Amino acid sequence: MSLSIIIAGLATGLLLGVFGSGGSIITMPALLYLLHVEPKSAIAMSLGIVAVTATITAIQHWKRGNVNLKVTAMFGLFGVAGTYAGALLGVITPVVIQLGLFAVVMYAAAWKMLKPKPQHRSVGAAAVIECDSGDCEAPHYGHIALHGIGVGILTGVVGVGGGFLIVPALVLLSGLSMKRAVGTSLSIVALKSFAGFAGYAGTVSVDYGLMAIFTAIAIAGSFAGSMLSHRLPAEHLKKGFGGFLMLVASYILIKSVVFG
């Protein structure tokens, strides 16, 4: 087992455990550049790895009461349809376009991570605390469905779970607290990633042995990430992750799009 698999697998699990997102953004480049997997195969395998890892992590959050199953069902239903369609589109999309879109998604995620945290008034903070019980959640299901389709298509085409887009959507459209948004996001990411993997399976080559090893390490990392999320300053982690995303996105653009 190579050190690259261990590092990438742990990073995938840690990000999913701490933020409820970011797994595919690590997994796909690791498979592509560290383990030299073909681009379309890397996208498919990334979806499969994140699907299993996110499922395990989502179960942990569900046991703590941090998953809204109704929102998961609505977002997941439309997200799965969008992801499967996106995967079928991704199979025939030129690799340079897929990698270019992936880099753009990474820049967007980096911007979200590096953006200063908005200041909340004390009244707003009290409202967030009350939302932890789920009492003040008021989902806008029409908006959730549309967002699910859009994020799903993106997931299928470029191989990202879309958690960094789902979490803020759940907070804004459903009134979920951050804890419940992260847990619910993981359950949605799992559903969409399974659908994306199904869309690629049978049409591209998949190394199931490598997937199994990577997934096992990622699951271990997700347990550690769940524990770290309660101990480490989230803002410091977000800024470090954002800077890392900027570097990797720039590398992908330079290597695969500009000189590819």
- pTM for this predicted structure: 0.75
What local confidence, expressed as pLDDT, does residue 128 receive? 40
User: pLDDT tens digits for 60-81?
Assistant: 889 888 899 998 999 889 988 9
Q: Which of 50, 69, 85, 14 is nearest to 237 (CA)?
A: 14
Q: What local confidence, expressed as pLDDT, does residue 138 receive?
A: 61
For the record, the structure tokens of 182 come out as: 């992260």
Pairwise CA distance, residues 69 & 129, whole Å: 20
pLDDT band at residue 130 using 50, 70 and 90 as cut-offs: very low
pLDDT at position 5, please?
Answer: 83
Proportion of the chain above pLDDT 90, given as a percent: 15
Counted domains in the chain = 1
Residue 215 — very low, low, confident or very high, per pLDDT cuts 50/70/90?
Answer: very high
Q: Which of 25, 138, 151, 23 is nearest to 77 (CA)?
A: 151
Residues 6+ apart with CB under 8 A from 170: 68, 71, 75, 176, 180, 181, 184, 185
Given a cut of 60, whether residue 89 has pLDDT beyond it is yes
Q: Is the pLDDT of residue 244 over 60?
A: yes
- CA angle, 83 as apex, 82 and 86 as ends, to 5°? 85
The contacts of residue 1 (CB under 8 Å, 6+ apart) are 213
**Residue-range definition of the domain harbouring residue 28:** 3-258
Which residues touch 240 (CB under 8 Å, ≥6 apart)? none
Looking at the chain, the whole-number percentage of residues with pLDDT higher than 70 is 83
Q: Tens digit of pLDDT for each residue in 135-178?
A: 556 667 788 888 889 888 988 888 776 777 787 778 777 777 77
